[in-house]
Amino acid sequence: MDGSHRCSANYVPLTPISFLERSAAVYGDRISLVYGRVQYTWRDTLQRCTRLASALVRTGIARGDVVAALVPNIPAMYELHFAVPMAGAVLCSLNTRHDAAMVSTLLSHSEAKIIVVDYQLEHIVTGAIKAMSERKEKLPRVVIIQEYDQPPSRIDRPGSALEYLEFESFLASGKLNFEIRRPRDELDPIALNYTSGTTSRPKGVIFSHRGAYLNSLSAVLLNDMCSLPVYLWTVPMFHCNGWCLTWGVAAQSGTNICQRNVTAKEIFDNISLHKVTHMGGAPTVSNMIINAPISEQKPLPREVTMMSGGAPPPSHVLYKLKALGFRIVHSYGLTETYGPATVCSWKPEWDSLPQDKQAKLNSRQGLQHIGLEAADVKDPVTMESVPADGKTMGEVMLRGNTVMSGYLKDLKATREAFNGGWFRSGDLGVKHPDGYIELKDRSKDIIISGGENISTIEVESVLFSHPSVLDAAVVGRPDDHWGETPCAFVKLKDGCSATEGEIIKFCREHLPHYMAPRSVVFRDLPKTSTGKTQKFILKKEAKAMGSLPKRVSKL
Amino acid sequence: MDGSHRCSANYVPLTPISFLERSAAVYGDRISLVYGRVQYTWRDTLQRCTRLASALVRTGIARGDVVAALVPNIPAMYELHFAVPMAGAVLCSLNTRHDAAMVSTLLSHSEAKIIVVDYQLEHIVTGAIKAMSERKEKLPRVVIIQEYDQPPSRIDRPGSALEYLEFESFLASGKLNFEIRRPRDELDPIALNYTSGTTSRPKGVIFSHRGAYLNSLSAVLLNDMCSLPVYLWTVPMFHCNGWCLTWGVAAQSGTNICQRNVTAKEIFDNISLHKVTHMGGAPTVSNMIINAPISEQKPLPREVTMMSGGAPPPSHVLYKLKALGFRIVHSYGLTETYGPATVCSWKPEWDSLPQDKQAKLNSRQGLQHIGLEAADVKDPVTMESVPADGKTMGEVMLRGNTVMSGYLKDLKATREAFNGGWFRSGDLGVKHPDGYIELKDRSKDIIISGGENISTIEVESVLFSHPSVLDAAVVGRPDDHWGETPCAFVKLKDGCSATEGEIIKFCREHLPHYMAPRSVVFRDLPKTSTGKTQKFILKKEAKAMGSLPKRVSKL
């Protein structure tokens, strides 16, 4: 419009860096990070991140360079989430459960110039660098984080051709008057997150400053996270940057409670000591909480909002968490959507429903959060929306500013994922009459038996309601007659027992006959570090088992 | 980064239209608007806005056209905030206290194609159009809103060359399957707001979709407005689009309680009936509340968060509101910053301070909200920040995405306002050691007496603490010796009395001698519709009074 003029007074690229600067200005004296006896204020955090950014630049980090991190939920990991972008670089947080081979693959693929590693994980990086060295690849520099109660010391690695830096000394070498490198364009990359491998081929998901800014605010809003929250870190910060709450907690000038390890005891202790207001709850965490021995439990000093994500929580889990004093915000998303994308927004009229009905309604994935433009269930071929009948299955598709920029060095995969102008999640779901989406399965996990679709999630939900079952997963087992039949992998609770026949019988009482498992294997389930069951491993096993003998399949 | 691909799956221009669509999808059955016995749900509101947008387009509204509104806080005004942008047009909300001459000036300047007017204000528009007609200008179409309890009827205006449309019939002529015109670029204009005239020359401030989106979320966050708020409309929606909460309430799927007139009785009645959670409090509103007769007061069913803005509230007002059960969020901004720009973020350590100290701290303007990049106090010539000493005065300057695009058809004024890369507010203030900004005066209002700066706000604050004073304003009166001396205009409370001498004496007991008024005039104060005192009128009066006689100025 005539009279408009775009300049620095009225236009700034959106970036989470602004959140940190604002918290330091407004709430400089408030505690930003707690890790055991270590505490920092927001002023400290801005200063430390500025020095760290400066140190990165002094060591040669240029705009767009990748800085990798193999670090658990300790303050350094939080600081890297700001310092790396403040150096104009891209943070690549690696899964702390990766082995040396995987880390070497990801360091090569991302072309990381530096890797910051926690002392407990140094051997992984050493192994990765050895492998890269054998492949004659360019090697990243290594910065090692020592334990916090130790004074910074020189790191000698005799025999290594590489220079190893110590994190605190490295940080201290940076300047406080460093001029923060803001993004030139808000679509510039801020982070690179490799998908955590429910499949075996990881892809590098690119996050932009704009998307990170908007998804952080969305995560804040969907949790009704008021200013000055106290956030307990149970979700790994390497996982979609802690579902964007690394940045989101800074937006609300909150206090981050860090834990190196996630145990029920530490969770209850920290909630009690720091009066935690919010936390995340991947399935492993919620299971840990509801199954914690009484001796480790402590009453919550106030209601704790738990953003549940990672996999649809079974109703009985939601129910038990609520009884303990947790308010569950059920959110759904993928690495490709910066973590949380949809939320099962609670409706006040549900308050008066029976608990099991409430849990059932709240175990749905809901609809787009405020930063996402749209969430829908569509026919993947025609792109038509499915009817909102709670029955017709389609692919969950998402669209908006909080969808990734693309897959690093894989434009073909990017284009496929965005084919039709929506991000195709690969998840199958239905749309209920109230518009809320419910996930039924990963498209690659669904079992087709005698022409019928079987949602493994529905079968698992019944298995979880069995009193002896601690964990369960269902995959297809080849069958000469039906094509596939459901095969359940089950882990029983300590001290409980059940036979294959009992489990099958229980399922047949609660499911249509064709959906009930025909075979049950008792074992520990293979997990990703974020608590997702690695079904591709179980599928291989089920495949190796071959078709069921005729007499069993006629049961 | 290699692999990135921008497309509709991952990029959508930011616009508040998304808030409405999301509320209709997630909370379609919840009440969006209440006006007496009239109620709409979010589904209704989306449908009505879609029809209205369609009707606008059918009548010839093109992208970028201006649609004006002269409408009080009734549902139609709320709907226009979405429907006009959904037609790709720009909403120009006019101050309902403007006279016909001013409205004709603004209709001409904005080149509005349509004006929507409330039946009670039709005569203003008739007068405006008559004036435009005499100037042989192109005339806008007129859409008249009738009272809600009346059935839509044909509007005949015999003798008029213009076609007058009735709002409900006009809306009904629109199509539900209308394809919403989203902004092509998020910097496209969404609204045009003429500054409300503490000076006499109004300027047309251009808001963009991006700025409106971000300031709406900022207003939500600075008020700690959780999902499903109940918002009482006391701030005129024409004033910076209701401080962006027209859009903000939709972002949180809240319920808007509309009032045609703002009276203490209606405020208390609505709070009690609808369990209001949030409201705005311009100075007129807070004064109305604290001075309401006991018979009109009702106990608040729960704490009500009141965003106070428009002018720095005197400590005793903050104090009394708190006692009544209001939580005061003190925010500051200008039309050029979409309304709220800074907020006096409350610090938990203030809770334990004495009430008057709390009120004093909270009457400061604070620092930038989350959507604004920076707020600072600077020397307007050197652009250096003033020291944070609570004493050195400078100009309050603001920078970020929630600063206007510019002044319509006045690039020169835009460039001046943005000179130096910051928006120059024209307000003078200081920076306290904790970084918080405190406003001292409008730069054009400050009194310079014998070379000393006198903050009229400080003098007014003392006047307000006098038990008999209801309202007060201080301006400079010419003085042969001192240049200027403070002259107080005072309105006493009903049934109270005080003499000029008593007021001056009271001020000298609480202020340095040179800051105390030398003359006092008892009268009603001229106000803008948003409750700001029109000092330019008082200045004229003080000027006309001439220099004080010598004997008085030696007192």
Question: Which chain B residues have a beta carbon less than 8 Å from that of A400?
Answer: 10, 12
- Out of A209-223, B208-222, B473-487, which region has the weakest mean confidence (pLDDT)? B473-487
- Domains B37-208 and B262-442 are alike in CATH topology: yes
Is some CB atom of chain A closer than 8 A to the CB atom of B352? no
| Residue B367, strand partner residues | B343
What are the CA-CA distances from residue B282 to residues A5, A104, B63, B215, B318 (Å)? 30, 61, 34, 18, 12
Q: Which of B144, B120, B148, B118 is nearest to B39 (CA)?
A: B148
Residues with Cβ < 8 Å from B494, sequence gap 6 or more?
B470
Question: Which chain A residues have a beta carbon less than 8 Å from that of B9?
Answer: 398-399, 403, 417-418, 421-423
* Tokens representing residue B338 in the block: 């979409």
Pairwise CB contact (< 8 Å): A1 & B405: yes
User: Among partner residues A28, A345, A418, which is closest to B10 by beta-carbon distance?
Assistant: A418
Task: State the smallest CA–CA distance between residue A46 and chain B in angstroms.
Answer: 15
- Does the pTM surpass 0.95? The reply is no
Query: What integer is the mean pLDDT of A495-503?
Result: 93
> Does the structure show a pLDDT above 70 at A194?
yes
Cβ count near B77 (within 10 Å): 26
Distance of CA A496 to the CA centre of its chain: 31
Interface of B with A in 62-91 (CB under 8 A): 64, 90
Residues with Cβ < 8 Å from B11, sequence gap 6 or more?
A187, A401
pLDDT for B312 equals 59
Pairwise CB contact (< 8 Å): A3 & B415: no
User: Among partner residues B252, B398, B406, which is closest to A4 by beta-carbon distance?
Assistant: B406
Residues B88, B64 contacting (CB under 8 angstroms): yes
Question: Which chain B residues have a beta carbon less than 8 Å from that of A1?
Answer: 64, 90, 189, 192, 206, 405-406, 408
Of the residues B4, B8, B10, B208, the best mutation for testing chain A's interface (the one with the most A CB atoms within 10 Å of its CB) is B10
Please, what is the Cα angle at B20 between B15 and B26, to 5 degrees? 125
**Could you identify the residue written with the tokens 């209701």?**
B242
Task: State the smallest CA–CA distance between residue B411 and chain A in angstroms.
Answer: 4
Considering the domain B37-208 in this protein, what is its CATH number?
3.40.50.980
Report how far residue B67's alpha carbon sits from residue B90's, in angstroms, rounded to the nearest whole number. 6
Pairwise CB contact (< 8 Å): A3 & B206: yes
First to last CA, chain A: 74
Is some CB atom of chain A closer than 8 A to the CB atom of B495? no
Second-level CATH architecture of A35-210:
3-Layer(aba) Sandwich (3.40)
pLDDT for A310 equals 61
Is some CB atom of chain B closer than 8 A to the CB atom of A105? no
Task: State the smallest CA–CA distance between residue B252 and chain A in angstroms.
Answer: 9
Residues with Cβ < 8 Å from B544, sequence gap 6 or more?
none
What are the CA-CA distances from residue A191 to residues A174, B145, B524 (Å)? 22, 52, 60
Is some CB atom of chain B closer than 8 A to the CB atom of A213? no
Backbone angles phi, psi at A502, to 5 degrees: -65, -45
Q: Which of B57, B39, B62, B292 is nearest to B148 (CA)?
A: B39
Residue type at A500 in one-letter notation: E
**Could you identify the residue written with the tokens 């690093």?**
A408
Nearest chain A residue to B90 by CA distance is A1
User: Among partner residues A224, A226, A405, which is closest to B1 by beta-carbon distance?
Assistant: A405
Residues A440, A291 contacting (CB under 8 angstroms): no
pLDDT digits (tens, 9 = 90+) for B198-235: 445 679 999 999 999 999 999 999 999 999 999 999 99
pLDDT digits (tens, 9 = 90+) for B408-423: 999 999 999 999 999 9
> Does the structure show a pLDDT above 90 at A160?
no
Is some CB atom of chain A closer than 8 A to the CB atom of B2? yes
pLDDT digits (tens, 9 = 90+) for A461-482: 889 889 999 999 999 998 888 8
Q: Which of A144, A140, A145, A146 is nearest to A162 (CA)?
A: A140
Question: What band does A211 get if pLDDT is binned at 50, 70 and 90?
Answer: very high
Fill in the DSSP letter of residue A516.
Answer: S
Residues B485, B474 contacting (CB under 8 angstroms): no
Pairwise CB contact (< 8 Å): B403 & A10: yes
Q: Give percent of chain A with pLDDT exceeding 90.
A: 77
Fill in the DSSP letter of residue A531.
Answer: S
Is some CB atom of chain B closer than 8 A to the CB atom of A428? no
Residues with Cβ < 8 Å from B191, sequence gap 6 or more?
B85, B90, B91, B92, B93, B206, B207, B212, B241
> Does the structure show a pLDDT above 80 at A221?
yes
Question: Which chain B residues have a beta carbon less than 8 Å from that of A383?
Answer: none
Report how far residue B244's alpha carbon sits from residue A191's, in angstroms, rounded to the nearest whole number. 32
B102: exposed, middle or buried (Cβ count in 10 Å: 0-12, 13-18, 19+): middle
Q: How many residue pairs bridge chain A and chain B with CB atoms within 8 Å of each other?
A: 191
pLDDT for B236 equals 93
pLDDT for A106 equals 95
* Helix, strand, coil percent content, chain A, rounded in steps of 5: 35, 25, 40
3-class secondary-structure state, position B367 = strand
Question: Which chain B residues have a beta carbon less than 8 Å from that of A4?
Answer: 187, 189, 206, 405-406, 414
* Tokens representing residue B373 in the block: 């990049």
Is some CB atom of chain A closer than 8 A to the CB atom of B228? yes
Beta strands in A480-554 (DSSP E): 483-492, 519-522
Nearest chain A residue to B210 by CA distance is A11
H-run or E-run covering B194 = strand B189-194
Interface of B with A in 18-37 (CB under 8 A): 18-19, 22, 25-28
- Out of A267-276, B6-15, B479-488, which region has the weakest mean confidence (pLDDT)? B479-488
User: Among partner residues B5, B22, B204, which is closest to A414 by beta-carbon distance?
Assistant: B5
Residues B548, B479 contacting (CB under 8 angstroms): yes
Cβ count near B412 (within 10 Å): 10
Is some CB atom of chain A closer than 8 A to the CB atom of B117? no
Pairwise CB contact (< 8 Å): A220 & B221: yes
pLDDT digits (tens, 9 = 90+) for B123-178: 999 999 999 999 999 999 999 999 988 777 777 787 777 778 999 999 999 999 99
Query: What integer is the mean pLDDT of B370-395?
Result: 96
Report how far residue B533's alpha carbon sits from residue A15's, in angstroms, rounded to the nearest whole number. 39
Question: Which chain B residues have a beta carbon less than 8 Å from that of A25?
Answer: 367-368, 435
The domain spans of chain B are 37-208, 262-442, 447-553
Q: Which of B169, B113, B102 is nearest to B141 (CA)?
A: B113
Nearest chain B residue to A437 by CA distance is B26
* Tokens representing residue B161 in the block: 């060359």
Question: Which chain B residues have a beta carbon less than 8 Å from that of A22?
Answer: 367-368, 370
Is some CB atom of chain B closer than 8 A to the CB atom of A351? no
Residues A87, A50 contacting (CB under 8 angstroms): no
| Residue B339, strand partner residues | B334
Task: State the smallest CA–CA distance between residue B350 and chain A in angstroms.
Answer: 13
User: Among partner residues B2, B25, B367, which is closest to A25 by beta-carbon distance?
Assistant: B367
pLDDT for B532 equals 79
Of the residues A2, A10, A20, the best mutation for testing chain B's interface (the one with the most B CB atoms within 10 Å of its CB) is A10
3-class secondary-structure state, position A141 = strand
Residues B264, B288 contacting (CB under 8 angstroms): yes
Residues with Cβ < 8 Å from B295, sequence gap 6 or more?
none
pLDDT for A311 equals 63
Superfamily of chain region A262-442: ANL, N-terminal domain (3.40.50.12780)
Pairwise CB contact (< 8 Å): A401 & B11: yes
Query: Across A243-257, A281-295, B500-514, which has the greatest mean pLDDT?
Result: A243-257
Is some CB atom of chain A closer than 8 A to the CB atom of B408? yes
- Among the residues of A173-306, which ranges form H helices? 209-222, 240-243, 245-251, 264-274, 283-290
Residues A120, A96 contacting (CB under 8 angstroms): no
Pairwise CB contact (< 8 Å): A435 & B25: yes
Report how far residue A329's alpha carbon sits from residue A307's, in angstroms, rounded to the nearest whole number. 5
pLDDT digits (tens, 9 = 90+) for A11-55: 999 999 999 999 999 999 999 999 999 999 999 999 999 999 999
Pairwise CB contact (< 8 Å): B26 & A345: yes
Is some CB atom of chain A closer than 8 A to the CB atom of B7? yes
3-class secondary-structure state, position B190 = strand
Residue type at B351 in one-letter notation: D
What is the 3-state secondary structure of A104-135? HHHHHHHCCCEEEEEHHHHHHHHHHHHHHHHC
Considering the domain B447-553 in this protein, what is its CATH number?
3.30.300.30
Report how far residue A319's alpha carbon sits from residue B548's, in angstroms, rounded to the nearest whole number. 78
Mean pLDDT across chain A, nearest whole number? 92
Is some CB atom of chain B closer than 8 A to the CB atom of A7? yes
Task: State the smallest CA–CA distance between residue A544 and chain B in angstroms.
Answer: 37
Report how far residue A512's alpha carbon sits from residue A509's, in angstroms, rounded to the nearest whole number. 8
Question: What band does B452 get if pLDDT is binned at 50, 70 and 90?
Answer: confident
Report how far residue A89's alpha carbon sits from residue B321's, in angstroms, rounded to the nearest whole number. 49
pLDDT for B108 equals 95
Determine how β-strand B437-442 pairs with β-strand B394-400: unpaired
Residues with Cβ < 8 Å from A450, sequence gap 6 or more?
A481, A482, A483, A514
* Tokens representing residue A165 in the block: 């830096």
Pairwise CB contact (< 8 Å): A345 & B227: yes
Residue-wise DSSP of B96-136: TT--HHHHHHHHHHHT-SEEEEEGGGHHHHHHHHHHHHHTT
- Could you report the predicted ipTM of this complex, rounded to two decimals? 0.90
**Could you identify the residue written with the tokens 């106000």?**
B527
B64: exposed, middle or buried (Cβ count in 10 Å: 0-12, 13-18, 19+): exposed
Question: Which chain B residues have a beta carbon less than 8 Å from that of A367?
Answer: 22, 25-26
Is some CB atom of chain A closer than 8 A to the CB atom of B400? yes
